[in-house]
Amino acid sequence: MRPELLGGGLCLLGALLACGPGVDERDSPDGTYEEEGVLRKPLRVDVEVLDPESADLHFRVWGIDFTPSMNVHVIGVGLTTEFVSKTQLRARLNPLLVKDMPEFPVEVRVEPGDVVYMSGARSPSITVSMPVPELHSLTPDVLEANPTAPVHIAVLGKNLVHGTQAVFRGIWYPVTLSSTRLGELWLPPEALTPTSGKQSLYLEVPRPRLLDTPALSLTVTTSPPVASP
């Protein structure tokens, strides 16, 4: 080989060795690269309506080795998160963020700059269902027919919000709530005429989605005869 070609090849080899394999776009300015960490997947997420006025959703996220730097994320949006313990986080969400979504993903994240996860970290997501309204009991659930005044009924349920209505015999009646679980309604005398067949009552709840609860039995009985003097 001619000396001038050999010299050129050595120079090129030296330049390549000096430059290295090239610049990786993931490299940080100091020449190191830290991959985003992976957190444990949450074990369970419980969701229920927190406030009858706003219909905000309350999250209880159960898992392992939670820390105060971890935050709950829903469809990629970080929520203000309360660290309860190493096994529980709590967060609150405006339902408009997941409007018309019967299911949505929830995950736990740590933002970059954490003392343990300098490049941040996230968990695999867990799919959560939108909470549905429930009707657990009516008190009383047996009423006398043809009362002389409106009849009071106490309602026990779950995920109830303002604007909830009771539906009885095809007519809607407003329900007044003291919480997302407790409420009351009044049935007028004309709603309690004697009718044959099984009677039932259910609740129509407008938010976070318009849904009906399963119905419960509400019996209307004929008033007992009054004894002659």
Token code pair at residue 42: 């949450």
Q: Domain-by-domain residue ranges, the chain?
A: 35-129, 134-221
The architecture in CATH of the region 134-221 reads Sandwich (2.60)
Tokens of 92: 């609150």
| Rounded-to-integer distance, Cα 106 and Cα 23, Å | 35
**Domain pair 35-129 / 134-221, same fold:** yes
pLDDT digits (tens, 9 = 90+) for 71-107: 999 999 999 999 999 999 999 999 999 988 999 999 9
Supply 156's token pair: 């026990």
Query: What is the percent of the chain with per-residue pLDDT over 70, rounded to a whole number?
Result: 81
pLDDT at 75: 94
CATH of region 35-129? 2.60.40.10
User: For residue range 18-34, what is the model confidence (pLDDT) as tens digits?
Assistant: 444 443 333 344 433 34
Q: Burial level of 108, CB count in 10 A (0-12/13-18/19+)?
A: buried
What mean pLDDT value characterizes the chain? 85
At 105-157, the pLDDT tens digits run: 999 999 999 988 999 999 999 999 999 999 999 999 999 999 999 999 999 99
